[in-house]
Amino acid sequence: AGTTEAQVITKQYDGNLLKFITSKLKDKDSFKIGASGLKHKRVRLFFTIILSFISITFFALTDTMSAFKSNDAHARTLSDNGVSNVQISQRFKADDSESNMFFYAPTINFSDQNIIDMREDFPHASIAPMVDEGLNLLFDFATTSSSEANSEFANIVNSYSTYRKTVFISEDYLEENNMNLLVGRLPQAENEYLISSFLLDTFVKLSFSYYSLDGSDNLVNNFILPNQFSKNKVSDANLIFDKSFNFRDLSAKITGVIDTNYETERFTNESLRNLSQDYLASSNLINYMNSNNLLTFYRSDLALANLYYSSDGVAPQFYDGNASVKVLLYEEYEYRMPIKYIIEQDYLIDDMLVKFSDAPLSANQIIISNTMISQIPDLAELFNTNGYDQITGRAKLLFNHTSGEYEFNTVNELKNWALTPSNLNKLKTFFVDDFGELEINNANLGQLNSEMYEIAGIYFPTQTFEVAGSETIYYFESWSEFTTFTVSDAKQADFPLSLISSLSFTNNDENLYNTYSKLNNYSKNGLEIIITSQYSSVFDMFGMLVESLTVIFVVLGSILAGFSALLMMNFIATSISYKKRDIGILRGLGARKLDVVKIFTYESLIIAAINIILATAVSIPAVILINQTVATQIGADLTLIAFTIRQFALIIAIAVASALLASIIPVLGIARKKPIDAINNR
């Protein structure tokens, strides 16, 4: 029988319940397919990997160069070599403004507050003031015993003896610095000194000079010759103790010797030979001697309170000038000269001073020395101490004025002549009309920071004088070494009156690098720190060269990174072309575009991983080799460049970025095609 419509059972279907099976290629399978692609075109793969990893390696190396910072490399080298003793100085810090393009800031002396701040900010360091007292190191080079066996050593010490300084130490200094007293005792008075064992060895090799007075109070120079020493450090030290080694102060005595562990092999005749022909090696040795305080004297810090330069007939107290003056002569001629010393106005000797007014110095006034005038040729013809009296053997002052020529045999004569207002006015108008104003730049603040001063008087520093009854007669003297000036109390802050030119810094922190890095970046009140060590010369020279080439390194590195990406892209494009039919089949079976991208991404990442391993494996030894090569050439063990986390991260970033860029862009192009077109290679 037939079936009626009513007897047919119909089903209602909900389209929302219809689910298709989603095609998904597993990551494991994608990886296998991608890796299988490396089996083809093996020669092309080999050269792609070689050229890519070389490009990435060179990029990493150029980045180490472009990332080079002299201060940071210096700190790392000090840390790597376990150097704990350095010298530090300070200067005003330049900002990044264009006006400071030609910033000039020499080192400036440390004030008491500077030192207090440093000790608070670096509690683990031992910090002691250093001053160049001008202590003489005089040797008897005439004796055969000191000139034969130690000739090279004699030359080097004699050449570098001017670099000696005095460190002013506290009672705890030796303990803080893990130093031992070899023999003798610590200084207990201001006139007592310690020396280093290196300096004792120097005396034993080259002779020890000391001074005494004969029956007529004449200074006599005596020597203890090398053949008089026993070569026993205790006996030799006792031989020089309590002898007056400073001709400026016959009360100055050596009381002890600090044991200094220095590298004796640096000072053999063989090591020192031809050193004079090698500037860099010579500079390294100077810095080594400086930073390790080898030619250093040690003195109680109690002596700091009374420390200043002094000279008979000049002033009881004067300081480093650390400035320069530009003379605006006749409003058209400029002449610049250094100002070597500053004398506080309260310490000027009245008998050697001619002021143009009885009023105190105002903020824009200055007193200059006659020696400053003598250095300016045009003015020296009009006002000079070049006149010489053959009878007395003394210099005269010659003053050529429009009203006539004047001649003075002593400062006293000039002062008496200037008591007459009209005569004083002749001096004043001469300096106002011919000198005009002086433009003085405080060297501490850079040459761009200068101010105008007017001359308010002349000072006549001289060491030539005699006492006649109750009067001291001062004679003129051509003493160009003593170019000095005096400013008002209001301006003294611009010219720090301190003799502490540097500090001895001992890094007692377990992490040497952290402390040196902090020291390099230390800035307070606009001041920055300069570290001087045995490596300073190298980093000054190398740093200037590398930092000037930074832009070139960055550009070169970028080009190499791009080259690496292009190589990878070329290989993947070739691989895609080779697998075009396979891609079409996969797409026909339902593989997504993403699945196709994953296959070739894995292929690229495998190559990237190989590049990362090879580039890292080559970069690290290359950095070590570069450092060793440079170190060998300059004779110093240092770390110029370093392979850090930054370079490793860059290698990974460039390799992975190149892989992704090389795979995604060309794969998307083939993935967009219809499967049948890909299979038919259309």
Q: Which of 23-27, 141-145, 473-477 has the lowest mean pLDDT?
A: 23-27
Residue 635 region, left (φ>0) first, then alpha (ψ -120 to 50), else beta? left
Which amino acid belongs to residue 566?
A: L
Q: How many CB atoms lie within 10 A of CB 13?
A: 7
* 388 contact partners, CB below 8 Å, separation of at least 6: 394, 395, 396
Angle, helices 550-578/580-588, rounded to nearest 10 degrees: 60
| Helix (H), strand (E), coil (C) string for 229-265 | CCCCHHHHHHHHCCCECCCCCCCCEEEEEECCCCCHH
User: Cα–Cα distance between 37 and 43 in angstroms, integer?
Assistant: 13
Residue 501 · residue 43 · CB < 8 Å: no
The chain-wide mean pLDDT, for the chain, equals: 79
- The bridge status of strand 166-169 relative to strand 125-131 is antiparallel
User: Cα–Cα distance between 403 and 378 in angstroms, integer?
Assistant: 18
409-416's contacts with Cβ under 8 Å and 24+ in sequence apart are 409/475, 409/476, 410/473, 410/474, 410/475, 410/476, 411/351, 411/352, 411/460, 411/462, 411/474, 411/475, 411/476, 412/351, 412/471, 412/473, 412/474, 414/354, 414/460, 415/351, 415/354
Q: What pLDDT is stored for residue 299 in this prediction?
A: 93
Residue 64 · residue 410 · CB < 8 Å: no
Assign 607 to helix, strand or coil.
helix
pLDDT tier at 21, thresholds 50, 70, 90: very low
**Residue 228 DSSP label:** G
Q: How many CB atoms lie within 10 A of CB 629?
A: 11
Residue 440 · residue 334 · CB < 8 Å: no
Q: What pLDDT is stored for residue 99 in this prediction?
A: 41
User: Cα–Cα distance between 619 and 411 in angstroms, integer?
Assistant: 73
User: Rg (Cα) of the chain, in Å, rounded?
Assistant: 39
H or E element in which residue 193 lies: strand 192-196
Average pLDDT over residues 304-310: 80
Chain segment 316-351, per-residue pLDDT in tens: 778 877 777 777 666 666 777 778 788 888 888 899
Residue 531 · residue 118 · CB < 8 Å: no
Q: What pLDDT is stored for residue 425 in this prediction?
A: 92
Residue 2 region, left (φ>0) first, then alpha (ψ -120 to 50), else beta? beta
pLDDT winner (highest mean) among 124-128, 160-164, 268-272, 442-446: 124-128
pLDDT higher than threshold 70 for residue 287: yes
Which amino acid belongs to residue 362?
A: S
Chain segment 625-636, per-residue pLDDT in tens: 877 777 776 555
Chain segment 93-121, per-residue pLDDT in tens: 766 543 443 445 667 888 888 999 999 99
**pTM of the predicted model as reported, rounded to 2 decimal places:** 0.70
pLDDT higher than threshold 50 for residue 491: yes
Which structure tokens are listed for 193?
Answer: 């000194």
pLDDT higher than threshold 50 for residue 674: yes
Residues in the chain, overall count: 682
Beta bridge partners, 258, equal 181, 196
* 650 contact partners, CB below 8 Å, separation of at least 6: 59, 60, 63
More confident residue, 277 or 649: 649
Assign 472 to helix, strand or coil.
strand
- The bridge status of strand 181-184 relative to strand 253-258 is antiparallel
* 669 contact partners, CB below 8 Å, separation of at least 6: none
Percentage of the residues of the chain whose pLDDT score is greater than 90: 17
| Helix (H), strand (E), coil (C) string for 274-338 | CHHHCHHHHHHHHHHHHHCCCCCEEEEHHHHHHCCEEECCCEEEEEEEEEEEEEEECCCEEEEEE
Chain segment 573-597, per-residue pLDDT in tens: 676 666 666 666 665 555 666 666 6
pLDDT higher than threshold 80 for residue 224: yes
Place of tokens 């001289």: 462
Assign 479 to helix, strand or coil.
coil
Percentage of the residues of the chain whose pLDDT score is greater than 70: 75
CA distances from 125 to 78, 373, 395, 512 (A): 15, 46, 53, 10
Number of DSSP helices (H) and strands (E) in the chain, helices first: 22, 25
Which structure tokens are listed for 600?
Answer: 């070739």
User: Cα–Cα distance between 481 and 339 in angstroms, integer?
Assistant: 10
User: Cα–Cα distance between 508 and 513 in angstroms, integer?
Assistant: 11
* 501 contact partners, CB below 8 Å, separation of at least 6: 89, 107, 109, 110, 130, 131, 132, 165, 320
Place of tokens 């192009």: 669
Which structure tokens are listed for 644?
Answer: 């850090």
User: Cα–Cα distance between 300 and 296 in angstroms, integer?
Assistant: 13
Q: What pLDDT is stored for residue 236 in this prediction?
A: 93
* 182 contact partners, CB below 8 Å, separation of at least 6: 197, 200, 233, 234, 237, 256, 257, 258, 259
Question: Phi, psi at residue 106, to the nearest 5°?
Answer: -70, 170
**Residue 189 DSSP label:** S
Q: What pLDDT is stored for residue 132 in this prediction?
A: 84
Q: With the CA atoms of 368, 374, 377 and 382 taken in that order, what torsion angle do they form, in degrees rounded to the nearest 10?
A: 90
Q: What pLDDT is stored for residue 147 in this prediction?
A: 60
pLDDT higher than threshold 80 for residue 528: yes
pLDDT higher than threshold 90 for residue 88: yes
Comparing CA positions, the residue from 642, 663, 499, 438 lying closest to residue 570 is: 663
Assign 152 to helix, strand or coil.
helix
Average pLDDT over residues 235-245: 92
Place of tokens 């020395």: 369
pLDDT higher than threshold 70 for residue 448: no
Which structure tokens are listed for 269?
Answer: 């005749």
